[in-house]
Amino acid sequence: MPRTARDVVFVDGVRTPFGKAGPKGLYAETRADDLVVRAIRELMRRNPSLPPERVDEVAIAATTQTGDQGLTIGRSAAVLAGLPKSVPGYAIDRMCAGAMTAVTTSGAGISFGSYDVVIAGGVEHMGRHPMGEGVDPNPRFMTDKLVDPSALVMGSTAENLHDRFPEITKERADAYAVRSQRKVAAAYAAGKIQPDLVPTAIRSAEKGWGLATEDEPPRPGTTMESLAGLKTPFRAAGSVTAGNAAGLNDGATACLLAAEDVAAELGLTPRMRLVDFSFAGVEPEVMGIGPVPATERLLGRNALTMDDIGLIEINEAFAVQVLAFLEHFKIADDDVRVNPWGGAIALGHPLASSGVRLMNQLARLFGERTDVRYGLTTMCVGMGMGGTVLWENVNWEGTK
């Protein structure tokens, strides 16, 4: 039977406040699955016109799928969140682009007609599950020289990018990081970040119960001087520091996607429309360049140029990775289209959850910027990949 593709819309997105990973972090004694359950429950609470039984799938990403991030977390989180047992779910992994891939995969299912409504998101508790926990890389990666040893250390791949783009100096990376911190501080002061945050219960054996209401990682007082003396742990006299890279973080995200006609039927208000997406592979040794070919492919397929893109939400795994993207597309380091409310260097990057954080911020910005038609969410991905999603503003007031 012939099928006609349907338009897919982003209805709503939420996230827990992001915490610092480790024994003193917000979520040190909170389970990973409870974080994503909190996000799913809040998503349903905010959209009361959606009958729970109309959710057709729950796709949740985690990079380390073990312990409280295991047990097919999409399904287990759906059950724990109180969705009907008839609602299926699955787990997905594309490292940092996990939540992004949960959105593109389940969104494609909506377009194809297999689903009407889905929940997609991600979770990463890097305090409980450090990056690379339990991983056993095949020795052929090294013995057959398939990749350079640095490919398996994300910070080393960022140093390699500095080598490839010598014009991206440590000072330039630090300046970008300072701007990210300042933009997040300004966005918090203006109340831009808070609407996406889900107040989340936290517990400490020492302090008892509490409530996480804002992100823990931001350092609003960051200056060029404070960054200048930081250690370069991935290379002696290198360029990558804890100040110009995202930290190790805990957090969860979830969003609601629907077919545009079904959203109208259920009284759900779309915030942006999924246009297209692209993933691309690159040399694992310079994985941070991944967003470039992914974005080039996407723009070319849609007969667009970067001049047509009014907003860019790019994940700030490392400042050099963002700057390499901007350098390639001849975008100024301080272009107002890029991460207007700051990014992961300040807010944190709980790996598989971050893709939906980018989408949440883009959707909020679209609501304020009716002059902007198209926006991108893009990120680099471990093992040498990049992913980019093209979105259209449903509130756009232009004519062409």
The Cα angle at residue 235 between residues 232 and 239, in degrees rounded to 5 = 50
DSSP result, 267-329: T----EEEEEEEEEE--GGGGGGTHHHHHHHHHHHTT--GGGEEEEEE--SBHHHHHHHHHHT
Establish whether 96 is a catalytic residue.
Answer: yes
Q: How far apart are CA 32 and CA 255, in angstroms?
A: 17
Apex 105 CA angle, 100 and 110, nearest 5: 120
Q: Which among 125, 129, 162, 349 is annotated as catalytic?
A: 349
d(CA 10, CA 56): 15
Task: Name, in order, each residue with C-beta under 8 angstroms of 216's C-beta and a sequence gap of 6 or more.
Answer: 17, 18, 19, 20, 25, 26, 348
Annotated catalytic residue, options 96, 129, 162, 255: 96
User: Residue 69: CB partners within 8 Å, gap ≥ 6?
Assistant: 32, 33, 62, 123, 124, 125, 128, 129
Annotated catalytic residue within 125, 129, 255, 380:
380
The encoded tokens of residue 263 equal: 């959203």
Scan for tokens 């077919």, then name that residue: 259
How large is the angle between the packed helices 32-46 and 73-80, nearest 10 degrees? 60
Q: At 259, is the secondary structure helix, strand, or coil? A: strand
The residue among 331, 325, 337 whose CA lies nearest residue 293 is 325
380 assigned to active site: yes
User: What is the set of active-site residues?
Assistant: 96, 349, 380
